[in-house]
Amino acid sequence: MSGKKILIIHSFGGVGKSTIAGCLIHPRTGGELLSVESSNLDASAYDLRVHRYNAAEYTEFYTDFRRYSALGNVIADIGASNVEKFIDHLIKSGGHEQFDYVVVPATQKVRGETETITTLQTLLDVVGIAPARIRVVFNKVDKARTNAPIEQYFPRLFAFAGQDGRIQLNPNCWIPELEVFSVLASATRSWSSVRSDHTDYDAKINEATIAQETRAIEQAANNALMQTMVRQASRYVDPAWDALNIDIAEPATEKLVEDLRRNHQVDCS
Protein backbone atom coordinates (compact mmCIF):
# COMPACT_ATOMS: atom_id res chain seq x y z
CA MET A 1 0.00 0.00 0.00
CA SER A 2 1.01 3.63 -0.28
CA GLY A 3 -0.26 6.63 1.63
CA LYS A 4 -1.18 9.97 0.14
CA LYS A 5 1.69 12.40 -0.25
CA ILE A 6 0.79 16.03 0.41
CA LEU A 7 3.03 19.04 -0.23
CA ILE A 8 2.27 22.41 1.39
CA ILE A 9 4.22 25.19 -0.29
CA HIS A 10 4.26 28.92 -0.96
CA SER A 11 7.00 31.16 -2.27
CA PHE A 12 6.61 33.58 0.64
CA GLY A 13 6.37 33.35 4.43
CA GLY A 14 3.61 34.28 6.83
CA VAL A 15 0.76 32.65 4.90
CA GLY A 16 0.04 29.91 7.47
CA LYS A 17 1.62 26.81 5.93
CA SER A 18 2.54 25.22 9.24
CA THR A 19 -0.86 26.00 10.76
CA ILE A 20 -2.57 24.40 7.77
CA ALA A 21 -0.27 21.39 8.15
CA GLY A 22 -0.74 21.03 11.90
CA CYS A 23 -4.35 22.11 12.46
CA LEU A 24 -6.19 21.52 9.18
CA ILE A 25 -4.60 18.56 7.40
CA HIS A 26 -2.70 16.38 9.90
CA PRO A 27 -5.58 16.01 12.39
CA ARG A 28 -7.61 14.47 9.56
CA THR A 29 -4.96 12.43 7.76
CA GLY A 30 -2.57 11.37 10.51
CA GLY A 31 0.76 10.06 9.27
CA GLU A 32 4.17 11.69 9.23
CA LEU A 33 4.95 15.39 9.13
CA LEU A 34 8.12 16.57 7.38
CA SER A 35 9.40 20.13 7.41
CA VAL A 36 12.00 21.65 5.11
CA GLU A 37 12.93 24.69 7.14
CA SER A 38 16.05 26.28 8.58
CA SER A 39 14.96 29.39 10.45
CA ASN A 40 11.23 29.49 11.22
CA LEU A 41 8.76 27.53 13.33
CA ASP A 42 6.94 24.53 11.90
CA ALA A 43 4.03 22.32 13.00
CA SER A 44 6.02 21.14 16.02
CA ALA A 45 4.66 24.30 17.67
CA TYR A 46 1.41 22.33 17.95
CA ASP A 47 3.01 19.48 19.90
CA LEU A 48 3.37 17.31 16.80
CA ARG A 49 6.39 15.23 15.90
CA VAL A 50 8.04 16.77 12.86
CA HIS A 51 11.00 15.41 10.89
CA ARG A 52 13.01 18.51 10.01
CA TYR A 53 15.41 19.02 7.09
CA ASN A 54 16.90 21.89 5.15
CA ALA A 55 16.94 22.16 1.37
CA ALA A 56 20.55 20.96 1.20
CA GLU A 57 19.35 17.65 2.66
CA TYR A 58 16.95 17.03 -0.20
CA THR A 59 18.15 13.48 -0.86
CA GLU A 60 17.59 12.51 2.78
CA PHE A 61 14.20 14.26 2.78
CA TYR A 62 13.08 12.59 -0.42
CA THR A 63 14.21 9.12 0.70
CA ASP A 64 12.43 9.43 4.05
CA PHE A 65 9.37 10.89 2.36
CA ARG A 66 9.05 7.86 0.11
CA ARG A 67 9.64 5.42 2.98
CA TYR A 68 7.11 7.03 5.28
CA SER A 69 4.51 6.99 2.51
CA ALA A 70 4.58 3.20 2.66
CA LEU A 71 3.26 3.50 6.23
CA GLY A 72 0.47 5.97 5.56
CA ASN A 73 -0.15 9.58 4.65
CA VAL A 74 2.75 12.02 4.58
CA ILE A 75 2.68 15.82 4.77
CA ALA A 76 5.64 17.95 3.69
CA ASP A 77 5.69 21.60 4.78
CA ILE A 78 8.21 23.70 2.86
CA GLY A 79 9.36 26.85 4.66
CA ALA A 80 9.90 30.10 2.80
CA SER A 81 13.57 30.12 3.81
CA ASN A 82 14.17 26.96 1.78
CA VAL A 83 11.57 27.13 -0.96
CA GLU A 84 13.79 28.32 -3.82
CA LYS A 85 16.39 25.60 -3.31
CA PHE A 86 13.68 23.01 -2.75
CA ILE A 87 11.97 23.92 -6.02
CA ASP A 88 15.32 23.74 -7.78
CA HIS A 89 15.79 20.20 -6.47
CA LEU A 90 12.27 19.26 -7.57
CA ILE A 91 12.93 20.47 -11.09
CA LYS A 92 16.26 18.69 -11.40
CA SER A 93 15.11 15.42 -9.85
CA GLY A 94 11.56 15.18 -11.16
CA GLY A 95 10.44 14.61 -7.58
CA HIS A 96 7.30 16.71 -8.06
CA GLU A 97 5.60 13.73 -9.70
CA GLN A 98 5.46 11.98 -6.31
CA PHE A 99 3.01 14.44 -4.73
CA ASP A 100 -0.65 13.49 -4.84
CA TYR A 101 -1.72 16.93 -3.66
CA VAL A 102 -0.02 20.32 -3.55
CA VAL A 103 -1.68 22.74 -1.12
CA VAL A 104 -1.09 26.47 -1.58
CA PRO A 105 -2.33 28.94 1.05
CA ALA A 106 -3.64 32.29 -0.19
CA THR A 107 -3.90 35.48 1.86
CA GLN A 108 -5.77 38.70 1.18
CA LYS A 109 -4.87 42.11 -0.26
CA VAL A 110 -2.78 42.93 -3.29
CA ARG A 111 0.51 41.52 -2.04
CA GLY A 112 -0.99 38.30 -0.70
CA GLU A 113 -2.86 37.61 -3.92
CA THR A 114 0.11 38.55 -6.11
CA GLU A 115 2.45 36.28 -4.16
CA THR A 116 0.01 33.39 -4.44
CA ILE A 117 -0.40 33.89 -8.20
CA THR A 118 3.40 33.89 -8.52
CA THR A 119 3.57 30.64 -6.54
CA LEU A 120 0.89 28.99 -8.69
CA GLN A 121 2.59 30.07 -11.91
CA THR A 122 5.89 28.66 -10.65
CA LEU A 123 4.31 25.33 -9.72
CA LEU A 124 2.48 25.03 -13.03
CA ASP A 125 4.95 26.42 -15.55
CA VAL A 126 8.35 25.91 -13.94
CA VAL A 127 8.01 22.86 -11.72
CA GLY A 128 5.39 21.09 -13.84
CA ILE A 129 2.80 20.22 -11.19
CA ALA A 130 -0.38 18.81 -12.74
CA PRO A 131 -3.20 21.36 -12.19
CA ALA A 132 -5.58 18.69 -10.89
CA ARG A 133 -3.28 18.08 -7.95
CA ILE A 134 -3.25 21.70 -6.75
CA ARG A 135 -5.51 22.86 -3.92
CA VAL A 136 -5.79 26.48 -2.76
CA VAL A 137 -6.78 27.33 0.82
CA PHE A 138 -8.00 30.90 1.36
CA ASN A 139 -6.38 31.56 4.72
CA LYS A 140 -6.61 34.29 7.37
CA VAL A 141 -9.76 35.61 5.72
CA ASP A 142 -11.44 38.64 7.30
CA LYS A 143 -14.88 37.10 6.71
CA ALA A 144 -16.12 35.57 9.95
CA ARG A 145 -18.94 38.10 10.44
CA THR A 146 -20.14 38.58 6.86
CA ASN A 147 -21.83 36.52 4.18
CA ALA A 148 -20.01 38.23 1.33
CA PRO A 149 -18.75 35.70 -1.26
CA ILE A 150 -15.08 34.75 -1.03
CA GLU A 151 -14.55 36.09 -4.56
CA GLN A 152 -14.89 39.62 -3.17
CA TYR A 153 -11.89 39.04 -0.91
CA PHE A 154 -9.65 37.56 -3.62
CA PRO A 155 -10.64 39.30 -6.88
CA ARG A 156 -7.19 39.09 -8.47
CA LEU A 157 -6.76 35.42 -7.67
CA PHE A 158 -10.16 34.49 -9.09
CA ALA A 159 -9.49 36.63 -12.16
CA PHE A 160 -6.17 34.83 -12.68
CA ALA A 161 -7.82 31.41 -12.32
CA GLY A 162 -10.51 32.38 -14.79
CA GLN A 163 -8.06 33.65 -17.37
CA ASP A 164 -5.53 30.85 -16.96
CA GLY A 165 -8.14 28.09 -16.96
CA ARG A 166 -6.02 25.45 -15.25
CA ILE A 167 -6.63 26.11 -11.54
CA GLN A 168 -10.00 25.31 -10.01
CA LEU A 169 -10.63 27.45 -6.94
CA ASN A 170 -13.17 26.23 -4.39
CA PRO A 171 -14.79 29.25 -2.69
CA ASN A 172 -15.79 27.03 0.25
CA CYS A 173 -12.18 26.26 1.12
CA TRP A 174 -11.49 29.18 3.44
CA ILE A 175 -10.45 29.76 7.04
CA PRO A 176 -10.84 33.10 8.84
CA GLU A 177 -8.22 34.76 10.97
CA LEU A 178 -8.55 32.74 14.18
CA GLU A 179 -6.82 33.44 17.49
CA VAL A 180 -7.08 29.78 18.45
CA PHE A 181 -4.03 28.87 16.35
CA SER A 182 -1.71 31.22 18.23
CA VAL A 183 -3.25 30.14 21.54
CA LEU A 184 -2.56 26.46 20.75
CA ALA A 185 0.99 27.25 19.65
CA SER A 186 1.67 29.26 22.81
CA ALA A 187 0.45 26.34 24.91
CA THR A 188 2.20 23.76 22.67
CA ARG A 189 -1.06 21.88 22.27
CA SER A 190 -2.28 19.98 19.24
CA TRP A 191 -5.62 20.57 17.59
CA SER A 192 -6.54 16.89 17.96
CA SER A 193 -5.74 16.68 21.67
CA VAL A 194 -7.94 19.67 22.45
CA ARG A 195 -10.70 18.62 20.05
CA SER A 196 -10.95 15.22 21.74
CA ASP A 197 -10.80 16.65 25.28
CA HIS A 198 -14.25 16.37 26.90
CA THR A 199 -13.18 17.30 30.42
CA ASP A 200 -15.62 19.42 32.42
CA TYR A 201 -13.28 22.29 33.22
CA ASP A 202 -15.95 24.29 35.02
CA ALA A 203 -16.03 21.48 37.58
CA LYS A 204 -12.22 21.50 37.70
CA ILE A 205 -12.23 25.24 38.34
CA ASN A 206 -14.77 24.85 41.15
CA GLU A 207 -12.73 22.07 42.73
CA ALA A 208 -9.53 24.10 42.52
CA THR A 209 -11.28 27.18 43.90
CA ILE A 210 -12.53 25.26 46.93
CA ALA A 211 -9.01 23.88 47.44
CA GLN A 212 -7.57 27.39 46.92
CA GLU A 213 -5.13 26.05 44.30
CA THR A 214 -4.35 29.12 42.20
CA ARG A 215 -2.23 27.35 39.60
CA ALA A 216 -4.85 24.64 39.11
CA ILE A 217 -7.53 27.29 38.58
CA GLU A 218 -5.41 29.03 35.95
CA GLN A 219 -4.57 25.78 34.19
CA ALA A 220 -8.20 24.64 34.11
CA ALA A 221 -9.32 28.05 32.84
CA ASN A 222 -6.73 27.99 30.06
CA ASN A 223 -7.75 24.47 29.05
CA ALA A 224 -11.41 25.51 29.08
CA LEU A 225 -10.60 28.44 26.82
CA MET A 226 -8.76 26.26 24.30
CA GLN A 227 -11.55 23.68 24.40
CA THR A 228 -14.16 26.34 23.60
CA MET A 229 -12.05 28.04 20.94
CA VAL A 230 -11.31 24.79 19.08
CA ARG A 231 -14.96 23.77 19.10
CA GLN A 232 -15.97 27.17 17.76
CA ALA A 233 -13.18 27.21 15.16
CA SER A 234 -14.27 23.78 13.95
CA ARG A 235 -17.29 25.50 12.40
CA TYR A 236 -14.85 26.93 9.86
CA VAL A 237 -12.04 24.37 9.77
CA ASP A 238 -14.21 21.29 9.19
CA PRO A 239 -15.96 22.71 6.09
CA ALA A 240 -12.59 23.91 4.77
CA TRP A 241 -11.26 20.36 5.04
CA ASP A 242 -14.28 18.98 3.20
CA ALA A 243 -13.83 21.57 0.45
CA LEU A 244 -10.15 20.72 0.14
CA ASN A 245 -11.25 17.41 -1.39
CA ILE A 246 -8.29 15.27 -0.36
CA ASP A 247 -8.64 11.49 -0.27
CA ILE A 248 -6.67 9.90 2.54
CA ALA A 249 -5.24 6.42 2.81
CA GLU A 250 -5.81 3.92 5.56
CA PRO A 251 -2.77 3.32 7.81
CA ALA A 252 -0.45 0.44 7.14
CA THR A 253 -0.82 -2.84 9.02
CA GLU A 254 1.29 -3.33 12.13
CA LYS A 255 3.25 -6.06 10.36
CA LEU A 256 4.17 -3.75 7.50
CA VAL A 257 5.23 -1.04 9.94
CA GLU A 258 7.48 -3.50 11.76
CA ASP A 259 8.97 -4.78 8.51
CA LEU A 260 9.76 -1.26 7.32
CA ARG A 261 11.23 -0.27 10.65
CA ARG A 262 13.48 -3.32 10.55
CA ASN A 263 14.51 -2.98 6.91
CA HIS A 264 14.91 0.79 6.68
CA GLN A 265 15.40 1.94 10.26
CA VAL A 266 12.38 4.23 9.89
CA ASP A 267 11.35 5.70 13.23
CA CYS A 268 7.69 4.75 13.50
CA SER A 269 7.23 5.23 17.22
Select 5-178+238-264's CATH number: 3.20.20.80, 1.20.1050.10, 3.40.50.300, 1.20.1260.10: 3.40.50.300
For residue 32, the SS3 value is strand
DSSP annotation string for 75-109: EEEE-TTTHHHHHHHHHHHTGGGG-SEEEEEE-SH
Q: Is the pLDDT of residue 261 over 80?
A: no
Q: Is the pLDDT of residue 227 over 50?
A: yes
Beta bridge partners of 134: 102
- Would the CA dihedral through 49, 176, 117, 120 be positive or negative? positive
For residue 139, the SS3 value is strand
> What's the full length of the chain, in residues?
269
262 band by pLDDT with thresholds 50, 70 and 90: low
Q: How far apart are CA 176 and CA 255, in angstroms?
A: 42
The 10s digit of each residue's pLDDT in 202-216 is 999 999 999 999 999
- Amino acid at residue number 233: A
Residue extents of the structural domains in the chain: 5-178+238-264
The answer to whether residues 246 and 24 touch, using CB atoms and an 8 Å cutoff, is no
6 band by pLDDT with thresholds 50, 70 and 90: very high
Q: How far apart are CA 213 and CA 56, in angstroms?
A: 50
Q: Report pLDDT for 268.
A: 43
